Structures are given as structure tokens and as C-alpha cells.
Amino acid sequence: MKITDVRTFLYRAGGANRRYGPILFVRVDTDAGISGWGEGSTWAGGSALIADFGIGQVRDMLIGRDPSEIEAIWHAICRRYTYMGSRGMPTQVLSAIDIALWDIKGKALERPIYDLLGGRVRETVPVYANAWWPDGAREPQDYADAALRTVDTGHRSLKFDPFLEMAEAFYAYVSGEITPEHESAGIARVAAVREAVGPNVHILIDAHGQYDVSSAIRIADRLAELDVAWLEEPVPPESHDALRQVRENTAVPICVGERLFTRFDFAPILERRLADFVMPDVCWTGGISELRRIGALAEAHYVPLSPHNAAGPIQIVAGSHVGLTTPNFYRLEHAMGWIPVYNAPLREPLGFERDFLTVSDRPGLGIEVDEDYLERHRYTESA
């Protein structure tokens, strides 16, 4: 079997605003009539547009290759296109291709990907809920009410960023400071959620890498009193020393990893014991192959794996196949409000139920993409 073509599909996810940019699917075709699907999306702005360009650059080197040689292709792309660094766009491109190759292999062997990874260690994939609050929510009671509704659906782990006033730091980190009134407003939202859901629900706080060291420590200390299960990305991802300072000065568990790429970024985090959870993104860090390796590396340090998800449905499904086979798996992220968005380009909906996801036993990823939907919702800058 040989690769005959590599095509990309950029589409606008229904209900997504421009800040989230388009979703990027890739289809790898073969002369055996088998095609595999991958995803190279990011939630931030137009990053998928850059990855779309990058996939076009690797297309020629893939044509004629045997798609079953996943490891060889992974290293060929990684070494050829990462001479100026492997962080970001190169690994985003690599991830999309890698997922598609695993899909092809599963279809060719008529087995689901999780079987090829060693088989299940659990029957379903546990998930945690993001995006469970109503649009425009600001008052603590708004969050408390929404949290109760989410718990009533069966979820036992909720994530949110309560410090709304820091949202501009997603794209424009400057000082990392937060005003006392905005800090207290965020803490009040967390306190309201904790009071509403009681002590047996995990509350995960996402800081989005927005804070300087002193602000992160101060916020972490206040969150510790509310028994949060983790503080995610308390400082920007570039400085291990900053992360170490936060970790050594707070009792709150730390989660990092959505902006770390390949096992080589995760190795020092684990070796220096800088995190209690790691959260690589299967569409950014190097695909199914690399997510699996990072999981094994984390297992050797007794650190749970909890993949980041903030894009499209192939991201969810690819992470789920790894989750089924990874002993040290915590939960897979999903956005409650995005379940219709996940399902829209698929012929059959994903198997979300309560706080778990059932993975199809069909070959490969186990999904069928609706290409007509992708064409009808093709991304344009004016859309």
C-alpha cells in the first residue's frame, strides 16, 4: 500500500466565534482505496491556517510512502521540518498526519486503534467537563447553578477559569498581575461552585498561563482553601524555574502540558517533579504515537495523563483511543457546549454518556466523516 494524496479541509465549526478559528482535518489517501483522517486544529485564533500550509509542504515527501511505517514517517517529518525548533506548527502538522496513519492502519487490519496500541485497560474513557456555564456568566450564583446542572448529568469533574478579567492575557501576556478586586471576584466564583457541588466533585482551575510567580502563588493559596483538584498552567510555559517556584510554595496540585510538545518537553517536567498531572494535546504534541509515549513516560513517574482537548471531534476520538489503553489515565477533557459541534461533521454521534465516553469498536478511529458537511462549511476569512 502506498500514499497517493494528502488533502486538508478547513471548516468553520458551528457556533464557534472567530477567536477559535477554523477546524483543520487532513485526509491521507492510499492506492488500496483506504483513507485515514487526522486533525491539526488549535483553539487559538488562526493557528490552523498555518498548519494547513505546513501540511501542504510535507505532502510531496509522503506521496509514495507506505502508510504502515508510522514510526519512520513520524521521525522523517520531525527531523526534516524541525531544524528551527519542534514547538508548535511542526508538531501540529506531524500530529495530523500521525493520527491519519493510525486510522489507515486500523482500517487495513480491520481493528480499532486501541487494539493496535495493546488493547483496553478500561471499558470506557472517563471525561471531565469544560464550557459548562452559560455564555456571559459572571456572577458566582450563575456558576453555582450551572455547576449543579452539570453534576446532575453525571459529571464529577468540572473545569473553568474563574478569573474572567485576565482573558486578554490569552494573547497578550504583559505583567501577569491581577487586580485585588478581580482576584476576589474569581475566588468568589470558585467558592460558590464548591458550596453548590459539595466536597466529592473535582474542581479544576485553568489559569491559562496568565500569571507571574507571585500572583500565581497567591491565587493558588486561596484556591487551596477551596480544595481544588488542580491549578492548570499557573505561569507561562517557557520557564521551568517559574513553575518550580509556584510548585514549591503551594499545596495545590499543578497540571501543565497543553503547550508542551513531544516527549522531549515533558521529560524535564517529570524528572524535576514540576507537575502532578500532565495534559498533552494529541493534535499539537505529535499525534497518537507521541501521546502514547508521553503517557508511558508519565507512568514511570506515577503522574496521571489527562489530555487537553479544545478543538474538533477527531481530537476527542484520537485521545480516547490512547485513554482506553493507558493505565495512568485521569480524564479526557471535553466541552459540554461543544458536543453538537463535535458531532456535526460525523455520520454518527460520539458516545458521550454521563462522565464517560464509549469508543466505537469499528476499525481505525471508528468514525465516518461527512465530507459534504466539510464542503458546506468550508472556512473563509469572511465567514
Contact 244, 268 (CB under 8 A): no
CA distance 43 to 48: 8
CA distance 324 to 296: 13
Say what the pLDDT of residue 302 is: 98
Strand partners, 35: 29
Residue 135 pLDDT level (bands cut at 50, 70, 90): confident
Q: For 150, what's the count of Cα atoms within 13 Å in the CB-facing half-sphere?
A: 31
Say what the pLDDT of residue 382 is: 59
What would the mean pLDDT of 192-214 be, rounded to a whole number? 97
CA distance 1 to 108: 10
Residue 81 pLDDT level (bands cut at 50, 70, 90): confident
- DSSP readout, 201-269? SEEEEE-TT---HHHHHHHHHHHHTTT-SEEE--S-TT-HHHHHHHHHT--S-EEE-TT--HHHHHHHH
Condensed to tens digits (0 to 9), the pLDDT of residues 337-383 reads 899 999 999 999 999 999 999 999 999 999 999 999 999 999 887 54
Question: What CA dihedral angle connects 244, 248, 250 and 253, to 10 degrees?
Answer: 60
Say what the pLDDT of residue 89 is: 84
Report whether pLDDT(109) > 70: yes
CA angle at 366 for the pair 362 and 371, rounded to the nearest 5°: 130
Say what the pLDDT of residue 14 is: 66
Report whether pLDDT(165) > 90: no
Say what the pLDDT of residue 100 is: 98
The closest of 263, 279, 224, 265 to 247, measured between CA atoms, is 224
Rg (CA), the chain: 20
Return the axis-axis angle of helices 287-300 and 313-325, rounded to nearest 10°: 40
The closest of 81, 32, 44 to 60, measured between CA atoms, is 81
CA distance 346 to 371: 9
Contact 281, 315 (CB under 8 A): yes
Condensed to tens digits (0 to 9), the pLDDT of residues 17-67 reads 445 679 999 999 999 999 999 999 887 667 888 899 999 999 999 999 999
Return the axis-axis angle of helices 70-81 and 89-109, rounded to nearest 10°: 170
Condensed to tens digits (0 to 9), the pLDDT of residues 302-324 reads 999 999 998 899 999 999 999 99
Question: 11, 155, 208, 330: which is the annotated catalytic residue?
Answer: 208
Report whether pLDDT(86) > 80: no
Report whether pLDDT(13) > 90: no
Say what the pLDDT of residue 20 is: 65
What stretches of the chain show up as alpha helix (H) in DSSP? 47-62, 70-81, 89-109, 113-116, 140-152, 180-197, 213-224, 240-248, 262-271, 287-300, 313-325, 339-343, 371-376
Highest-pLDDT range among 85-89, 170-174, 193-197, 206-210 = 193-197
Residue 15 pLDDT level (bands cut at 50, 70, 90): low
Contact 146, 133 (CB under 8 A): yes
Condensed to tens digits (0 to 9), the pLDDT of residues 251-301 reads 999 999 999 999 999 999 999 999 999 999 999 999 999 999 999 999 999
pTM given for the model = 0.95
Provide the 3-class DSSP secondary structure of residue 274: coil
Percentage of residues in the chain with pLDDT exceeding 70? Answer: 95
> Would you call 321 a catalytic residue per the annotation?
no
Say what the pLDDT of residue 168 is: 66
Say what the pLDDT of residue 172 is: 67
Report whether pLDDT(333) > 60: yes
> Would you call 208 a catalytic residue per the annotation?
yes
Residue 164 pLDDT level (bands cut at 50, 70, 90): confident
**To the nearest whole number, what is the mean pLDDT of the chain?**
93
Instruction: Find all residues with CB under 8 Å of 356, minimum gap 6, and list them.
Output: 124, 125, 126, 127
Residue 88 pLDDT level (bands cut at 50, 70, 90): confident
Cell numbers given for 231: 491549578
Q: How far is CA 111 from the centre of its chain?
A: 25
Residue 166 pLDDT level (bands cut at 50, 70, 90): confident
